[in-house]
Each structure stands twice: as C-alpha cells, then as structure tokens.
Amino acid sequence: MSDVSAPERRAPRDDAPRIALFVFEARDPAQVRAVLEAVPAQLFSRLCEVVVMEARPGSGPPPPRLPQALDAKCDLFVHRTPRALGYGAVRKAALEYALRRGFDEALFLRADVHPPERLADLLGVSSDAGRELVLGARAIDRRHPPPGAGGLLRSMAHRLTTGFQNRLLGLHLHDYHSSLRRIPVDAMRRIPFQLDSDDRAFDMQLVIQCRALGLPIREVEVPPQWREYASQRAGLAGILRGVVTALDYRGHQLHLSRRGRYLVDHGVHYTLKQSRSGSHMQIVERIAPGSRVLDLGCSQGLLARPLREKRVRVTGVDAGPGENLADELDDYFQRDLEEPLELPTGRVYDYVVSSDVIEHLRKRVELLRSARRFLKPGGRLIVSTPNIAIWFYRLSLLLGRFEYGPRGILDETHVHLFTRATFRREVERAGFTIIHEMQTALPFEVVFESTGRSRLVRGLAAAYHALARAWPALFAYQFILEAEITTLDDDATSRPAQEPPGSGS
C-alpha cells in the first residue's frame, strides 16, 4: 500500500486552527468513500488532512478512488503501520503523526460506528481551540438507552459506573467510553500517551491524563446513539475496565502504585500549599513578624504572599529571569545557585530560607555555606527537603519500583536524595547547628486536589502529621530544619586592637 494525496484544495485561513480528521476501523475503500461523502461539505474547508489509519499491515483499505467532487475538498492519506496494532496502539500512532505534522487539533472517527455527519457537533461547540478535550457523548439523554439487545441492562450499568467514576475522578461526564473525540494536539506533548494500553482502556486513560493535566473536558451530545462495543459482553467488560482504570489512577495518586502514564508535565511544578502540616505554612509560622528574609530558590516568590501578612520583607533569588513573580516580593536577583552566591546586600537578613532546593543542586553545601554571609548575628537558616526513606518508597523498592516523574520526591530534576540522617549531616557540614526540626504530612491537598480547607483533608493531614512526628524517619514526607551559624565567616575575624606604646601597666 502506498500513501496518496489528493489534488490541492482550498487552504484554511491562516489564523484558523490546523485540524486533521483521523478515520479508524475502515474495512474497504467503499467505506472510506461513504464516510467522506457523509461529512458535511462545509467542514472540509476547516480540515487540513484526512488520514485513514491502517490497523493491520495489508488489511486496511487501499488508497480509495474518490469522486472528483471530493478530490477538490481534502488531502487524503493512508497511514501504514509496521505491524499489527491494537485499538489503543493505532490511536497512539495517530497522535504521534498529529504531533509530527504540527496540527492544533485531531478528530477521531470510527468508520464502522460513528455518524460522520455529526462531526459538525464536535467542531460547532464554542471551544478554546487546542486547549480542551471534546467528547461526543451518547448518554446525555437518559431517556434513550443504548441500542441493541440488553440495552436496558447496559444502560443501568453504564449509569452506576459512570457515577462512581465521576466521584472518583471529580468529573461530571456522561460517556467515558465514547471514542468520537476532538483532541488538543499540543497538550499531548505533556501527556505520556505512549505508555497507555494498546487495547480499549486507551480511551479512559487518555481522559484521566487530561484530567490530571488540568485540561478542560467538554461533552457535546451527538445523536444518534451508536454501540462502541461489538457485543453486550464486550460492553460490560469495557464498563468494568473503566472502573478499574479510575481506581488505578486513584491508587497512583495515593502512591499505592506508580503509573508512568499519569506522570503528566504541568509545566509549573510548584504551588503554594495551604495545609498547616505542609512545609510552606510551617516555614511561614517560624518566621517572626517584621523580619527580613532571603529566599534562595524562590521560584515565583510563593512564600512572599503569606509572609506579607506578617509584614515580612522578602528578597528572592533564583536562576530564572524573574517572570510571573509575586507582587509581594521586595526584590529579586537572578543567580545560578550552583555558582558562588554574590549579592549587593550584605549581612542584613534575619532568615535565609531554602525550601525544597538543595535536592536540585550538585553544589548544595556551597550554597548553604554562602548563606552565612547574609545572615545577621543570631539569624537563622530554614531549609527543607523531601524524605526518600518514607514508607511508600521503601515498599516501592521492595516491589522493584523506583520511578522518577515531573514532581514529588522523585522529581526528575532532583540530583540528590536525602534521608533524615543525611539531611541533618549536610546542614551541619555547611557550618550550622540544628536547633529545631519539623516534619510534614503527605500532601493530601495535592492528592485530593483540595484547597487544604476541606474538613476531611484537614483531618487526614493532622492524623498523618502526628504519625510523622512520632516516627519521622519512616513517615515524614519532608524534613524542615532550623539552624544557626556554628562556624564564623572571614568577615567575623579581625586582629585585636593594638594598645598605644607606653600604655601598659
């Protein structure tokens, strides 16, 4: 089979999103031709390409001979695969192709079940082009059960499991199983969809990945109804598989399992956590009102916001150019924290804070040592880092799992990991005496995507925090150390004053 392209067609406007239509499960050229003839003519002006995805080498439709009227409307390609691919695998190949070709959006259409004329419903919704997932939902109208034998039974199972999935995932969808989709292609760069299943679980996993990324998910009702599964048995198996997939995602969030497919890239890794048992609020509580703080590795200046309420003046230092900084920062210096720290400020700070920074640095001791030059006499260093010896990573190692991801303790940008003992030793090596240690609870507000004000989340965090304080080496999520200078700096050492000649007794 060879790839084919149709003659030149009318190009979309320069400012219009570049959209590709991918056709799956097409058995023969006649079916491809029927699909394209059923697509509303006005939609072709919005399509850059139509791509027929071949599931099995040599078994897909050969390049179809289209009527002359269609030849002028679209560029048609047949995408070959190197081997037989399953349901999910062929869709992963389609997304790879869409990324490579630089499309903004991809439409997924099954030639064997989806009504092509309803593509207008997907493209007709008011959508932030390229920034949300749009699903063609079959089940919004609950008065009409899915067609076919056993429709009522499947409808009841569908409603019960969909409600359960919505509660698990915090969504409000009606049809997780619909494969008629409008997919934002650029967002797929931040989703490891290549790790998704090669079978029908792919559809559910992609929805969950978009949810994990924070991507809006919209449903649009697309009548008439159609059957996504070939038989009632396959449909019930698909419904059960969807529930298991949702439970699997929640298990991943709770670190009961670790799934690389759900480690999506949020871009901005750090947000201010409001929980009183978390590192941010515990650090804020240790800083006296009206003081001055040097925040090393300040990111966007997250700590400056709650500290402003205590009349604390914060100077931030980080490697970035200082974009999107919090307005509450008094000053900002762009510095490479791997290099000797030089600032035009001197010994004026009551506190130097380094919150979840040293695990990113190779020259971490040098940074802590340089902090001594900016602390007032009696000033304090407050430094935090994650605990790699927490219980769930001990269990993960026992099961042979040790996976880095875009954030968390095993953030892929971490270059050194600490236990309680090695963290304390690192701070002491830098010339400090530890005077106070704190521990944090698991970040339940992140796990449950809460603001930290939920009564359930607060209760869980408080109970776990008590456990972390009782056995910090095993249960603490992070350690926070407050320390004072042990070793004096060069500018604290001077020659004794000379007495004038003859003044001795």
- The Cα–Cα gap between 82 and 397 comes to 36
Tokens of 81: 């695969």
Q: What does DSSP say about strands 181-184 and 105-110: parallel, antiparallel, or unpaired? A: antiparallel
Amino acid 152: pLDDT = 65
For the segment(s) 279-488, the CATH number from 3.90.950.20, 3.40.220.10, 3.40.50.150, 3.10.450.50 is: 3.40.50.150
- The Cα–Cα gap between 31 and 28 comes to 5
Helical residues (DSSP H) of 289-387, grouped into ranges = 304-308, 364-371
Amino acid 64: pLDDT = 53
- The Cα–Cα gap between 70 and 44 comes to 9
Angle of CA points 493, 497, 501, to nearest 5°: 155
Amino acid 10: pLDDT = 47
Output phi, psi for 387, to 5 deg.
Answer: -105, 105
- What residue spans in the chain does CATH classification 3.90.550.10 cover? 19-260
- What residue spans in the chain does CATH classification 3.40.50.150 cover? 279-488
Please state whether the predicted TM-score (pTM) of the whole model is above 0.75. Answer: no
- The Cα–Cα gap between 458 and 345 comes to 40
Q: In the chain, how many H helices and how many E strands? A: 15, 14
For the segment(s) 19-260, the CATH number from 3.30.1390.20, 3.30.70.120, 1.10.10.10, 3.90.550.10 is: 3.90.550.10
Q: What are the b/e assignments for 166-175, b being 16+ CB within 10 Å? A: eeebebebbb
Angle of CA points 338, 344, 346, to nearest 5°: 95
Which DSSP state fits 495?
P
User: Which residues, in sequence order, are CB contacts of 424 under 8 Å at separation 6+?
Assistant: 434, 437, 479, 481
Which residues in the chain come in under a pLDDT of 50?
A: 1-10, 68-69, 146, 148-149, 505
